[in-house]
Amino acid sequence: MPDAILRIALPSPLRRLFDYRAPPGVPRSALQPGARLRVSFGRRELIGILIEVTDHSEVPADKLKPALQLLDAQSPLPPALFKLCLWTAQYYQHSLGDTLSWALPVLLRQGEPAEVRQERFWHLSEGAQLDDPRLARAPRQREALKTIAQHPHGVAHQLLGQLQLNKESLGLLREKGLVRLEIRRHAASARHRNWLAEAELPLNPEQRAAAEAVRTGFGRFNAFLLAGVTGSGKTEVYLQLIRATLEAGKQALVLIPEINLGPQTLARFERRFNARIALLHSGVNDRERLDAWLAARDGEADIIIGTRSALFTPMQRPGLIIIDEEHDASYKQQEGLRYHARDLAVVRAHQENIPILLGSATPSLESLHNAHGGRYALLHLHQRAGGAQQPRFLRLDVKSRPLDSGISGPMQQAIGQTLAAGQQVLVFLNRRGFAPTLLCHDCGWLSECPRCDARMTVHQRSAELRCHHCGHLERQPSNCPTCNNVDLRPVGAGTERAEERLGILFPQVSVLRVDRDSTSRKEAMTKLFNTVQRGEPCILVGTQMLAKGHHFPRVTLVAILDADGGLFSADFRASERMAQLIVQVAGRAGRAEEPGKVIIQSHLADHPLLVQLTEQGYFAFAEQALSERRGAGLPPFCHLALLRAEAHRPGQAEGFLDAACSEAELLVNELKLSGIELLGPVPAPMERRAGRYRAQLLVQANARAPLHRLLSSWMPALEQMPGARAVRWSLDVDPIDLF
């Protein structure tokens, strides 16, 4: 019998498998496809995944190396997930090995055993009383005890933070004998009879109709688009469908945009269910991530909640997939494997034959198009749950008005009136820093980034100039670097400037800023929420971090300082994004009794899309935008793939793309493909970034099949091209960003 040849997928960009011999002493019968192996690759050691065992290799026998070590007796990756990875690699034209390594938890990629660690759980002690007299003057401990009592199966130590439980309180409770710590495998006990830890809200008729529709679709593939205005109770619908899923003995996977994963959202799931919840997001460390992944795989987690990459969590008993805020751009990975988690989730639901629910107040044009075409069932929630009214929109033309740190006179008045009425204001400006650029009033010098075709942003508080594209950092100069004049002026306004100005205009209230610079620390965010919750008049200033997931019931005015970026931009998706942002920000306001008002400053106050949006709402806007896309032959009415390249020398990337373009033209003829257009190559809209010159080539196709036929011949050809190693290049299938 010939030696076994192992075909292994390695984490390498090369779109092929690599052949090895079996590790010394390992019999053929021990080699299960899907198992991980350690191999030497060039001068490195890599961990790869066994795809198949055969008898034959193209590689001469004396060149074949043995693999170093077999890491698994069985595949850690269940077949369903492997199938999803295969599909993903094929669709995004990415190497299978690299795709698998994106899909696996970091520790598995690094060769850790695929085994669950022991987990610590906090429980109520036998006979503990919630009104124990010793807690009379310890409100935090009393609260903590109450929370623990709501979870008859214990609270995993890992989830303490999500439930706002602190370790000191628990430690003190433990000393008093009121709670105990149990160490066990993450697996919980027997089937639950009651999955609910708190009562459900009675659904209103629209919510009930939506939930019913999805429930009727249980047990097989069905895709639903839940279009519900902000605050319409989408989350309540999710929760009740999850309960139904658990009752059917199945698991639910919930994807949430990174930015939404505030403690508020997670606490809501935790409060509602007596269930084992696995969390997979950026705040979870590698070990916790692996445990959560394994618990989901082995059916020991009932609900899996996570961000984009949680899509690749295996499930033993999949029952339902929910994608919250399906329009959110963070579902698209912008590096390496450029997958779209929402799109892949639909594929996964199809493969696993289970229903999927996409929810949003502002569905993407792609999903609406799918709903129009009958591929998704469209479910609407028109009213806010709990009776709160929809905000009113006003457009404020600032064409010939002076802007004072970005805030016009009428806007200042509106803010003043709202504060005087004892209410809160949210000021939205999607630009952080003090000002987008620094200008020398004498010679016209601008704070350009030395590494990018972009200006550096002024950050006044830290006295720095920062490039938001490459991270380049400089001290803010006191004199002009060119003419030495001292009259340097920040031009335009970012959140830092708006915050400073509002503090001067309204000294009697607190002004709180929320953006990536201010909220890098968790406590800052908590402090902010506490202030807002107290209900005193205040001003929140922030970027899109403010636009999502949070409830600010006392905010009655939303001031949008700049909607123009979305109307001017060369990116055909900019207006869609602007509309989504405006509607999402507006949705923060007036949630309770007080109706909200949204004022939008614009130099293009009469722009048809803006008029449509503010007068007739998002769905009218979306129809208009879709018909414009149809007219222009843009997605979702065509399919795109973008080949990007970058290099150190000018012209080098374009040269590579020129050759790539000729190759594609040849293939289009050879394969007799029709309906394909090659646009470019052209320099990227920001040609130089981080010191590299960038260019791109766009492939536009009427249909998917010919596009994918082209790509699957084109990519291997490009790998062979002589110039391919001198440039950094990548393919983006269904790009959402053409920059």
Contact footprint for Zn ion (CB under 5 A): 440, 442-443, 445, 449, 451-452, 467, 469-470, 472, 480, 482-483, 485
| Contact with ligand ADP (CB under 6 A) among 57, 169, 232, 364 | 232
Q: Minimum Å distance from CB 264 to Zn ion?
A: 35
Q: Minimum Å distance from CB 211 to ligand ADP?
A: 10
Q: Minimum Å distance from CB 695 to Zn ion?
A: 18
- The site partner of 386 among Zn ion, ligand ADP, none (C-beta below 5 to 8 Å per kind) is ligand ADP
Three-class DSSP labels, 347-380: HHHHHHCCEEEEEECCCCHHHHHHHHCCCCEEEE
- The site partner of 41 among Zn ion, ligand ADP, none (C-beta below 5 to 8 Å per kind) is none
- Parallel, antiparallel, or unpaired: how do β-strands 303-306 and 277-280 relate? parallel
Nearer to ligand ADP, 386 or 651 (CB): 386
Please report whether residue 207 would count as binding ligand ADP according to CB under 6 A: yes
Nearer to ligand ADP, 203 or 259 (CB): 203
598: β partners:
393, 558
Q: Minimum Å distance from CB 565 to Zn ion?
A: 19
| Contact with ligand ADP (CB under 6 A) among 230, 360, 364, 543 | 230
φ/ψ region of 562 (left if φ > 0, alpha if ψ in -120 to 50, else beta) reads beta
Nearer to Zn ion, 87 or 445 (CB): 445
The dihedral formed by the CA atoms of 440, 445, 449 and 455, expressed in degrees to the nearest 10:
70
Stretch that binds ligand ADP, among 195-203, 285-293, 640-648, 651-659 (CB under 6 A): 195-203
Closest CA to 157 of 258, 287, 254, 305: 287
Handedness of CA 29, 34, 38, 43 (dihedral sign): positive
Q: What is residue 395's three-state secondary structure?
A: strand
Please report whether residue 323 would count as binding ligand ADP according to CB under 6 A: no
Residues 20/39, Cβ–Cβ less than 8 Å? yes
Contacts of range 711-716, beta carbons closer than 8 Å, 24 or more positions apart: 711/93, 711/641, 712/90, 712/93, 713/667, 713/671, 714/660, 714/663, 714/664, 714/667, 715/15, 715/93, 716/15
Q: Taking the CA of residue 626 as centre, how many other CA atoms within 13 Å lie in the half-sphere pointing to its CB?
A: 18
Q: What is the size of the binding site for ligand ADP (CB under 6 A)?
A: 15
Handedness of CA 532, 534, 550, 568 (dihedral sign): negative
Classify residue 504 by its DSSP letter. Answer: H
Q: What is residue 246's three-state secondary structure?
A: helix
Nearer to Zn ion, 409 or 471 (CB): 471
The single-letter code of the amino acid at 213 is: A
| Contact with ligand ADP (CB under 6 A) among 99, 235, 495, 696 | 235
- The site partner of 573 among ligand ADP, Zn ion, none (C-beta below 5 to 8 Å per kind) is none
Please report whether residue 201 would count as binding ligand ADP according to CB under 6 A: yes
Q: Minimum Å distance from CB 465 to Zn ion?
A: 10
| Contact with ligand ADP (CB under 6 A) among 11, 76, 105, 228 | 228
- The site partner of 360 among Zn ion, ligand ADP, none (C-beta below 5 to 8 Å per kind) is none
- The site partner of 230 among Zn ion, ligand ADP, none (C-beta below 5 to 8 Å per kind) is ligand ADP
Closest CA to 334 of 520, 92, 545: 92
Q: Minimum Å distance from CB 553 to ligand ADP?
A: 9
Residues 238/207, Cβ–Cβ less than 8 Å? no
Peptide bond connecting 27 to the previous residue in cis, omega within 30 degrees of 0:
no
CA 107 → CA 112, 281, 289, 684, distances in Å?
5, 15, 9, 36
| Contact with ligand ADP (CB under 6 A) among 204, 330, 702, 712 | 204
Q: Minimum Å distance from CB 545 to ligand ADP?
A: 17
- The site partner of 314 among Zn ion, ligand ADP, none (C-beta below 5 to 8 Å per kind) is none
CA 16 → CA 103, 106, 225, 588, 716, distances in Å?
18, 22, 37, 49, 9
Residues 481/445, Cβ–Cβ less than 8 Å? yes
Please report whether residue 267 would count as binding ligand ADP according to CB under 6 A: no
Please report whether residue 259 would count as binding ligand ADP according to CB under 6 A: no
Q: Minimum Å distance from CB 243 to ligand ADP?
A: 14
Q: Minimum Å distance from CB 451 to Zn ion?
A: 4
Stretch that binds ligand ADP, among 15-23, 191-199, 202-210, 212-220 (CB under 6 A): 202-210
Q: Minimum Å distance from CB 347 to ligand ADP?
A: 25
Q: What is residue 416's three-state secondary structure?
A: helix
| Contact with ligand ADP (CB under 6 A) among 68, 203, 378, 525 | 203
- The site partner of 443 among Zn ion, ligand ADP, none (C-beta below 5 to 8 Å per kind) is Zn ion
Q: Map the footprint of ligand ADP across residues 366-405, applying CB under 6 A.
A: 385-386
- The site partner of 445 among ligand ADP, Zn ion, none (C-beta below 5 to 8 Å per kind) is Zn ion
- The site partner of 207 among Zn ion, ligand ADP, none (C-beta below 5 to 8 Å per kind) is ligand ADP
Interatomic CA distance for residues 72 and 36, integer angstroms: 6
The dihedral formed by the CA atoms of 426, 428, 432 and 437, expressed in degrees to the nearest 10:
-130
Nearer to Zn ion, 287 or 451 (CB): 451
Which residue intervals of 560-675 are DSSP H helices?
565-568, 574-586, 608-616, 618-632, 652-670
Please report whether residue 236 would count as binding ligand ADP according to CB under 6 A: yes
Q: Minimum Å distance from CB 465 to ligand ADP?
A: 39
Peptide bond connecting 681 to the previous residue in cis, omega within 30 degrees of 0:
yes
Nearer to Zn ion, 420 or 443 (CB): 443
Q: Minimum Å distance from CB 477 to Zn ion?
A: 10
- The site partner of 201 among ligand ADP, Zn ion, none (C-beta below 5 to 8 Å per kind) is ligand ADP
Q: Minimum Å distance from CB 641 to ligand ADP?
A: 34
Packing angle, helices 618-632 and 365-372, rounded to 10: 80
Nearer to ligand ADP, 202 or 402 (CB): 202
Q: Minimum Å distance from CB 579 to ligand ADP?
A: 17
Q: Phi/psi of residue 699, each to 5°?
A: -110, 125
The binding site for ligand ADP (CB under 6 A) comprises 201-204, 207, 228, 230-236, 385-386
